[in-house]
Amino acid sequence: MKPKALEIDLSGNHWKMEKIRPGAGVMEGWHKLPSEYQGTYFNWNQASVPGDVYTDLQRAGEIDDILMGRNMGKAKWAHEYEYWYVSKFNAPEEMQGKKIELLFEGVDYSCEVWLNGQYLGKHEGMYSDFSFDITSKTRFEQWFEGCNIVMIKLDPPPRNYRRVAGKKFCFSGDYMPGLVPFGIWRPVKVRASGIARIENFRIESDLLEGDAANVRVEVEVSNLGYNPFEVTLDSVLKGENFEGAEQSQSNTFRVGPGKNTLKFEIPVEQAKLWWPWDMGDQNLYQLDVSMKSDGAELDAASEVFGIREVKMEMNPGFTEDEVENPWTFMINGKRHFLRSNCWGGPPSYFYGRNSFKKYEDRLNMVKEANVNNLRIFGWHPPEVPEFYELCDRLGITVWTNFGFATQAFEATTEFLYGVLDECKATVVQRRNHPSNIIWMGGEEVFFSDAHVDSDNKLIMEEIGKAVAEVTNIPYSLASPLSGHYGQKLGFKPKESTHANEHYYGAGHVLMEDYYGTMDYCVIPELTAASAPSVESLKKFIPENELWPMGPSWGYHWADITILKLLNVEVFGDTRDGSLEEFVDSTQLAHGIIAQYALEHFRRRKPRVSAVALCHFMTYLPDIKWGIIDYYGEKKVAFDYVKRAYQPLLPSLEYRKRRFKAGSPLEASVWIVNDHQFAYENLTLNWAVENPAGEVIDSGSHAVSAEADSSAEVLPLNTTIEGEDYELFKVRLELVNAEGDVLSSNFHTLMVGDQEAAIDRSKKLHAEMNNEKEAFGKGYYRYHEELWDID
């Protein structure tokens, strides 16, 4: 919601910050420092809001480059302090006589606030906004730098994620740095209004016959006085990004003291719907509301939204004993197959390094990769409003988890009710974005015996009930549901699974045998990994650790043995003769594995309704899952995902990747079409190329593709040529009657013995396990010298 009230945005670089022992700031009287040009805080560090403590400390030279090498570990001392942030402002004369509030859009994680030495209160919770009435405390003199002083004390961050889950995103796990982020991560504003204020909107739509729709609006209004009175809401509905007739109406309500929910409806005869980018246009409307009493405007606000309807249907082909939850996403009555990536954001773990431009650049790359959905799971925070606004305009749907991940939680009264309030606040801030199509409770919270014995299921169920009070967007308990422990809790066996064990158990099973056995409605994540480019590595790996690989590789989540084993699976050897060879090979292996897995599940639509690659990116410089790196540079895998996710896709199905020379290629061609329209009179061209790129066999066939379909169209008959471990390609393209290439694709296979490859991989997998047994599961196992420090 965008208010039109008189507002001062305190965001910017005019803040100061200082650390002190917990409790000592109040003892020193920092909260009572006067607003004057010379003062105690004159020599405090410069700071920026929105931002984070670590970026401010690095800017001040108190910590070294937080991203380089293992410096994050050296900065853990920062956890132990409280941090005071101060800024000043002059209140304009126009604010006099109005109700004034100090509004915080988000503080991570807990804080206390003073204005002009007077205590305002405290808040806990990263996602919820909060405000204080400062009408009687605001001064109106016009002093140099400002006569009103805002003091914010940030408490030391929580260290036990289990205690604050749902109110802060996960900071402990297998790809976390052990450094807890905290800071004033969203804007701080001073806002003035009349005796009544518009707090938020809830806008939902019902599609009617023909092109008609009904827009249902709820406006939450706070009466800041002590007596009830009448207000009139004048509303104007218009196209925000398209030309359309404006609709105006007025509604009168009586508002009592405190919060009031005012409801009205707007019928739209020729509604322009919002669609995901591969299904239609991203039509957006703007609703302007002015609240008046006795002819005087008290407040005004606007909201941009889309008219669209989200419903869930059962996936075809499963029995009631296999699946009980609907997993097919229906947008405006049409099936929306999720070609998803796990977002892995925000762009930086350290909020002060994020910007609108970074979000814009990365989300444009998401669409370039033919991704139509992003899954934000419980390791990462529900995103900032600007993220959802960009997704609205790009037509990328969003699957948003609350901040619960991989812990056993206890539903004490204090914990549960704090979580429910935080989750509802999270939804209220984001619910009007048409891109947001599902909320989910937890990530891997039904994942162990400890989870089975915990209150996890109860908490996820209670969250669902709570958010249903503030949105009609679908909700699901958690991901995955159908693992061993999920079934212990009563979930059905074919709902959802995380397909990550090909990566974690590298060598234990080849990708063809692993993915080919999976039969579930949705695959919320599957993964492969690679190193970023040498140029990017140099930005966060010290020069003396680049090659041979030093400990900083493991510190930045490189599982070196796994990367080598994936190279063996794809190329037949570890490809570690040089830094450049190793990096390039991991990126290519990453792409080939991701392509195989994603296309496999796409061919299974509509039985499968969603697949998500983990990740699109990660929020720290790493050597792991993203198909772009922390610096926004694409890996080779990006192009493989882009091809595998083409809405119209010629795809090669094969159950083994290695074929002996002289043997037939056992494969078939499929066409997957996610568009809502059919293709007739297509020509499928195929060709087999040897390692030199020479075509050794080819053919052309007339084909078609029904709307929203997946079908096998051609068995591929050819004989394999070449030497063991040589790679060959099968190229596919679809051409229309005018000779235009609508879609092209290729797959990389190998000349060799499939059974021998299986035996070798299992042997290497066993060696990896022995290495873990001898030196531990952490990255120290790659550097035995770390255990032998004299």
Query: Taking residues 110-116, what's their average pLDDT?
Result: 97
Amino acid at the residue 20? I
Q: What is the pLDDT of residues 672-702, one digit of tens each?
A: 999 999 999 999 999 999 988 899 999 999 9
Q: Token pair of 2, please?
A: 């965008």
Q: What gap in Å lies between CA 282 and CA 275, rounded to an integer?
A: 5
The DSSP secondary-structure symbol of 77 reads G
β-bridge partners, 374? 341, 398
Provide the CB-side half-sphere exposure for 631 (13 A, CA). 14
Query: Taking residues 601-606, what's their average pLDDT?
Result: 98
* pLDDT value at residue 34: 78
pLDDT category at 41 given cuts 50, 70, 90 is confident
- Tokens 């059962």 correspond to 314
More confident residue, 143 or 84: 84
Q: What is the pLDDT of residues 154-191, one digit of tens each?
A: 999 999 999 999 999 888 777 677 899 999 999 999 99
Q: What is the pLDDT of residues 744-776, one digit of tens each?
A: 999 999 999 999 999 999 999 999 888 888 888
Q: Token pair of 170, please?
A: 């996960």
Nearest to 560 by CA among 786, 782, 774: 782
Residues 6+ apart with CB under 8 A from 36: none
Cis peptide before 109 (omega within 30 of 0): yes
Query: Taking residues 287-310, what's their average pLDDT?
Result: 95
* pLDDT value at residue 3: 64
Q: What is the pLDDT of residues 426-485, one digit of tens each?
A: 999 999 999 999 999 999 999 999 999 999 999 999 999 999 999 999 999 999 999 999
Query: Taking residues 536-552, what's their average pLDDT?
Result: 97
Query: DSSP string spanning 525-584?
Result: EE-------HHHHHHHS-HHHHTTT-HHHHHTT--HHHHHHHHHHHHSS---SSHHHHHH
Query: DSSP string spanning 396-421?
Result: -EEEEE-S-BS------HHHHHHHHH
Q: What is the pTM of this model?
A: 0.96
* pLDDT value at residue 772: 84
Nearest to 771 by CA among 607, 590, 559: 559
Q: What gap in Å lies between CA 266 and CA 575, rounded to an integer?
A: 63
- Tokens 């914010």 correspond to 152
DSSP 3-state assignment of 157?
A: coil
* pLDDT value at residue 38: 60
Cis peptide before 382 (omega within 30 of 0): no
Determine which of 344-348, 517-521, 622-626 has the lowest per-residue pLDDT on average: 344-348
Nearest to 404 by CA among 414, 412, 416, 413: 416
Residue 110 pLDDT exceeds 90: yes
* CB atoms inside a 10 Å sphere around CB 788: 7
Report CA-CA distances (Å) from 521 to 335, 493, 495, 609. 14, 10, 5, 6
Amino acid at the residue 278? D
Query: Taking residues 395-421, what's their average pLDDT?
Result: 94
* pLDDT value at residue 174: 72
Q: What gap in Å lies between CA 102 and CA 189, rounded to an integer?
A: 6
Report CA-CA distances (Å) from 16 to 141, 213, 277, 347, 635. 22, 51, 44, 25, 39
* Percent of the chain's residues with pLDDT above 90: 89
Report CA-CA distances (Å) from 325 to 265, 399, 444, 482. 32, 16, 18, 11
Contact 274, 434 (CB under 8 A): yes
Instruction: Please name each of the domains of the chain with its CATH number.
Output: 2-193 (2.60.120.260), 196-305 (2.60.40.10), 337-646 (3.20.20.80), 650-751 (2.60.40.10)
- 3-state SS record for 493-516: CCCEEEECHHHHCCCCCCHHHHHC
- Tokens 């809401």 correspond to 233
Q: What gap in Å lies between CA 347 and CA 341, rounded to an integer?
A: 15
- Tokens 């008046």 correspond to 292
Query: Taking residues 222-238, what's their average pLDDT?
Result: 96
Residue 790 pLDDT exceeds 80: no
Angle at 80 between CA 78 and CA 83, to 5 degrees: 70
Q: What is the pLDDT of residues 696-722, one digit of tens each?
A: 999 999 999 999 999 999 999 899 988
Contact 590, 635 (CB under 8 A): yes
Q: Average pLDDT of the chain? A: 94
Helical (H) or strand (E) element with 644: helix 636-644
Q: What gap in Å lies between CA 502 and CA 528, rounded to an integer?
A: 8
Q: What gap in Å lies between CA 178 and CA 568, rounded to an integer?
A: 32
